[in-house]
Amino acid sequence: MQFSLLTAFVALLPIAFAIPATPVADASLPGSTANVAGLHAVARAAGKLYLGTATDNNELTNTQYTAILEAPNMFGQITAENSMKWDATEPEQGVFTFTLADQIANLATSHGQLLRGHNCVWHQQLPSWVTAGNFNANQLTSIIQNHCGTLVGRYAGRVWDVVNEPLNDDGSFRSDVFFNTLGENYIPIALRTAKAADPHAKVYINDFNIEGLGAKATAMKNLVRTLKSQGVPIDGIGLQSHFIVGEVPTTLVQNMQEFVALGVEVAITELDIRMTLPETAALLEQQKQDYQTVISACQAVQGCVGITLWDFTDKFSFIPSTFPGQGAACPWDQNLVRKPAFDGIVAGF
């Protein structure tokens, strides 16, 4: 199923029902007061295709978590946080394992949720046979084609982050096994392979620090122009959107509009807004405003098709382990209670 096939997707939507706001667990901090049918229902009513979330296999044993994940109209889209990456799907050359990826795909299908494939080619979470194989250009091309073609072909009709994080913050290409062997040609190789494996797939490049105007965003726009001039399929740009409370870019709308003007759609693909701990009422209020700002920006740009949270709860957020001393980045807290950020999302639509 493609993100652009609105009619087909609407047919899969469960009937909306109101989910009452969850009581606040910590009375010393503000909580959510919104009473809506679900975030996805709000997004659809506002004309967007979905409001979704990332999830991971180890989280699916928590029944309190899955009750929210699977609630009708709360999330209309699922991204596999780790189980479709290279180390999880092709740990040995030519040997594919799909047990974990299939679990996420089947979860999405069974609940009428769109599935985003994440990802085909990335510089991290690569098995050593890829990074240390000393492959020549022809060999690595064949490896990329086999890997991308197999993944996209298995999960057909989806949206795929085919190339993930190809750029440095200064706009130069990131040095990794793919670029060092093939130069920037690895990008069209991956995109062409994905589209050939499934002509109905939406193929994206996904990156961070390209959400607002700047050198990296400019470089990504130039890359889109180059790809299009070469006839390389590119349907969308993923704006990861790992933000800091009080530091959301002020040029979100203009930047999205400039991408869309190049003939691609955009999506907010990994949204969270972290803060320096501990949480305070003031930080939570600012976080609420920041979530509203991001959602409002997508809402203002027709070509911004939807928003994905990079998991919806602080309980499973990657932020504390990646950014020590920071956290509380998600709209639900560690106890799976809605925070003011939830209301910010609703207000943004």
- Which residues are designated catalytic? 165, 270
| CA separation for the pair 88, 82 (Å, rounded) | 7
| CA separation for the pair 247, 259 (Å, rounded) | 22
Please, are residues 117 and 84 in contact by the beta-carbon 8 Å criterion? yes
Outline where the chain has alpha helix (H).
6-12, 39-45, 63-69, 86-89, 99-110, 128-131, 137-154, 177-182, 186-197, 215-229, 252-260, 281-300, 319-322, 340-348
Return the closest-CA partner of residue 342 out of 114, 74, 79.
Answer: 74
User: Integer distance in angstroms from the first to the last C-alpha of the chain?
Assistant: 24
Provide the 8-state DSSP code for 185: G
Backbone angles phi, psi at 71, to 5 degrees: -60, 135
Is residue 204 within a helix (H) or strand (E), and if so which, with residue range?
strand 202-207
Instruction: Please spell the DSSP secondary structure of 13-82, one letter per residue.
Output: PPPP--BPPPPPS-TTS------BS-HHHHHHHTT-SEEEEEE-GGGGG-HHHHHHHTSTTT-SEEEESS
Cα angle 58, 63, 66; round to 5: 75
Secondary structure of residue 268 in the 3-state scheme: strand
Cα separation values, 231 from 17, 46, 205, 225, Å? 45, 34, 16, 10
Q: Tokens representing 324? A: 């020590």
Secondary structure of residue 236 in the 3-state scheme: strand
